[in-house]
Amino acid sequence: MSLRLDELHHPVSVTSAGYAWPDAGVQRATIPDLTDLSVIIVSWNSLEYLSACLSSVYAAANGDPIEVIVIDNGSVDGSPDLIRHRFPAARLIVNDQNRGCTVAFNQGLHLSTGQYVLLLCSDTVVQPAALHRMRAFLEAHPDAGAVGPQLRYPDGRLQPSCRAFPTYTTFVWEFMGFSRLFPAHPVFGRWRMGDFDHQALREVDQPRGSSLMVRREVVSQVGLMDEQFEMFFNDVDWCLRMKQQGWKIYFLPSARLIHHGGGSVRKVRPRMILMSHRSCYRFFKKYQRSIGQAVATRILGLALLASAGIRYLIARATGPGYRFPTQPAAPPFELRAVNNT
């Protein structure tokens, strides 16, 4: 299966997930297939999403042989059994505990063999042509180290997925509420890119790491993800390191995915709040280069600590929490192998 470069932005209507998706048509032509693409999926107790995610990956490959690696972080909901029985072509690695998203992605990067690698969260659904479009874009733009697709919520609403690299002033506006009050302002809304409608191809700092395609050369040059960022800011740090090495990163709206968002995070939201704030502090500490920046990082750390504490208590008081099954759950599906070849 292949695409011509001139097809990358031409709209073709198709119905998927209950609404019309433009730019999803694929025609056989001259661009190479996906034999050099590896897809790495990280999963933790995401049984309710996995089948749709994996099925969409194989469907989007449209018959091309594709390397799929699933790293399971110690799930106890029957997820590994689903993969073994329904997707035997996928390579499954089961960790004995939740080692974190970053460690799991790095495991997949170590094992993968493709010249292009797609990092994918398990609560995503790949839309038709998305894999071919991202793969073709990287091949056509040798200065591009990574590319991110457009994300949509399951109901079809646009999901903002690009951000600028954060600065110290970013969090001044965040804590003062200006970024929320004036999301499209070029200063107050810079970090969240509130002035970008996510409809045009453009170079960006950082697409969301839930679906990011990178070329192998970048991984070899820049290295793996920094494992001090267990789940949050791992993509921010990785993209920044790519930029520091001279690579460009792009947002490609004609490649589209459905992203439920926080499929695993919601199950342990209070703990994720603490983890996200800690990762933010570690990010700024990693890149501080002067005494002034070190002082600013300490001040930011105190503000993040206070924010994390308040949000943690609210989440504990209002959230339903998540109870782990006492034993692996029987998969609520018929154990039928999916033909992935």
Q: What is the pLDDT along the chain (341 residues), one digit of tens a residue?
A: 333 333 333 332 222 333 333 443 334 444 557 889 999 999 999 999 999 999 999 999 998 999 999 999 999 999 999 999 999 999 999 999 999 999 999 999 999 999 999 999 999 999 999 999 999 999 999 999 999 999 999 999 999 999 999 999 999 999 999 999 999 999 999 999 999 999 999 999 999 988 999 999 999 999 999 999 988 999 999 999 999 999 999 999 999 999 997 655 566 678 888 889 999 999 999 999 999 999 999 999 999 999 989 888 888 888 654 444 333 333 333 333 344 44
- The dihedrals phi and psi of 163, each to the nearest 5 degrees, come to -140, 155
User: Which bin fits 155, alpha (ψ -120 to 50), beta or left (φ > 0)?
Assistant: alpha
pLDDT of residue 9: 36
Is residue 135 classed exposed, middle or buried when 0-12, 13-18 and 19+ CB atoms within 10 A define those classes?
Answer: buried
pLDDT of residue 267: 60
Under DSSP, the state recorded for 262 is -
Prediction pTM value: 0.83
Q: Is the separation of the CB atoms in 58 and 50 below 8 Å?
A: no
* Whole-number Å distance between alpha carbons of 323 and 327: 12
Tokens at residue 131, please? 């894999």
Write the CATH number of the domain with boundaries 33-156+198-261.
Answer: 3.90.550.10
Provide the pLDDT for residue 19.
Answer: 31
Q: What is the pLDDT of residue 34?
A: 87
**Domain ranges for the chain:** 33-156+198-261, 162-195, 267-318
Write the CB contacts of 123 (distance below 8 Å, at least 6 apart in sequence): 46, 49, 53, 210, 259, 260, 261, 262, 263, 264
Residue 13 confidence (pLDDT): 29
pLDDT at 189: 92
pLDDT score for 22: 41
The two most distant CA atoms of the chain are separated, in Å, by: 61
